[in-house]
Amino acid sequence: MDDDRPLHGVQVLDLTNVLAGPYCSYQLMLLGAEVVKIERPGDGDLARKLGPEPDLNHAGIGASFLAQNAGKKSVELDLKNPADRTTFEGLLRGADVLLENFRAGVLSRIGYDWAALQRINPRLVYCAISGFGQTGPMRQAPAYDQIIQGLSGMMSVTGTPQTAPLRVGFPVSDTIGGLVAAMTIAAALAGRTRTGKGVCLDVSMLETSLSAMGWAASNYLVSGVPPEPMGDQNATAAPSGTFQAADGALNIAANRQEQFDTLCRIIERTDLLTDTRFAEREARKQHRAALNDEINTALRGRPAIEWEERLSTAGVPAARILTVPQAMELDQLKVRGFLTELEFPGDPNRTLRVTGNGVLVNGEPLRPTAPPPLLGEHNGEYKCPTGEVTAP
């Protein structure tokens, strides 16, 4: 399978930390690239110290690091040290991609601006991920995921009118930034086969987050209608949101007329179809609260799993609301090989489960082939005391 991956033979030098950058390079690794993680000697990626288990954090293999760094190699280099700079430049000459997520201008200040990188390797694809991009009045502002969520307007539409603004429950802006970076790197590599030249990619987490907000942004840009927080309801359709069955919540998205017709038939409320408040799409949106009350009353007669099965079978999107542990145990994920078990770094008595990316290539899931590296684990493969590059 390794040789069949789309990015087999591509080498990525990864200077990134924490999440947006490491998530990007993890996607590239899953697609077949060799990712050489360049880490600060003695400390490494800050994510090594992040996670719910203090012992792992102290050992430099925190859960946050383990989640996004399987299959990569770790080399310690101090880019202010002459010998390590020689090693780094040797690696650059043979690399396809350089990825970093420093604050704008940091790499330039230590001598590796785009012009310098082009002189070292004209075919290099250089990707910089930052909170606001390399240009503009905010380019030097510090940014973490929550800062971007707030500035993008994302938090303003999350929650209910009573609870907003709320942070999305996972670092979505970091993740989106990493995904867009991985996509554009792959596109740049494809373009290089035509031009023979490298390219400089400037990825802004603020802009990628706004782009990913879809209708929340476009409804305002096109129609001048600012989005509002609606909790678990979908602004574009009704009934579409979270409802209450006999034993708990489930989501139903009857966004099309035929789905609404089927829903009413299955819950034995065909009278709703002739009620003028609910007969057509726009009317249902205007009378959403009343419609939801009627549907919730009907749903309370059966458990959520029964409604999920009956509605899904009939073509109405419906599913229970699961916890993360419940989601990870879905048979669907097992069949597709989404999770991979690896040897736990430094602990032969423990296994590590990591996620894939949801893509099958020729029917096979993309999996990491090695556990996350210990700090400097691959120093001997890539550097020697003179600063020369050793052959991996």
Is the pLDDT at 166 greater than 90? The verdict is: yes
Beta bridge partners of 249: 244
- Any idea which residue has 């770094």 for tokens? 345
SS (H, E, C) 362-389: CCEECCCCCCCCCCCCCHHHHCCCCCCC
- Cα–Cα distance measured from residue 79 to residue 18, given in angstroms and rounded to the nearest whole number: 19
Chain segment 24-45, per-residue pLDDT in tens: 999 999 999 999 999 999 999 9
Six token digits for residue 378 = 């691959």
Residue limits of CATH 3.40.50.10540 in the chain: 2-212+338-382
CATH 3.40.50.880 fits 240-322, yes or no: no
For 54, list phi and psi in degrees, rounded to 5: -55, -35
Q: In terms of pLDDT, which residue wins out, 13 or 2? A: 13
- Residue of 145, 174, 275, 293 with catalytic role: 174
Length of the chain (residues): 392
In DSSP terms, which residues pair with 76 in a beta bridge?
A: 39
**Domain spanning 2-212+338-382 has what CATH number?**
3.40.50.10540
> Catalytic annotation on 174?
yes
Q: Which pLDDT value is given to residue 382?
A: 85
In the chain, ranges of CATH 3.30.1540.10 domains:
240-322
Q: How confident is the model at residue 383 (pLDDT cuts 50, 70, 90)?
A: confident
Residue 6 exposed, middle or buried by CB count within 10 Å (0-12, 13-18, 19+): middle
Q: Which 8-state DSSP code applies to residue 328?
A: H
Q: What are phi and psi of 242, to 5 degrees?
A: -100, 135
With a pLDDT cut of 90, the percent of the chain lying above it is 94
Q: What is the pLDDT of residues 68-116, one digit of tens each?
A: 999 999 999 999 999 999 999 999 999 999 999 999 999 999 999 999 9
Rounded to 5 degrees, φ, ψ at 390 are -90, 155
Whether 277 has a pLDDT exceeding 80, the answer reads yes
**pTM for this prediction:** 0.93
Strand, coil or helix: what is 202? strand
Predicted confidence at residue 391, as pLDDT, reads: 59
Q: What are 167-224's pLDDT values in tens digits? A: 999 999 999 999 999 999 999 999 999 999 999 999 999 999 999 999 999 999 999 9
Query: pLDDT value at position 2?
Result: 66
DSSP H or E run through 203? strand 199-204
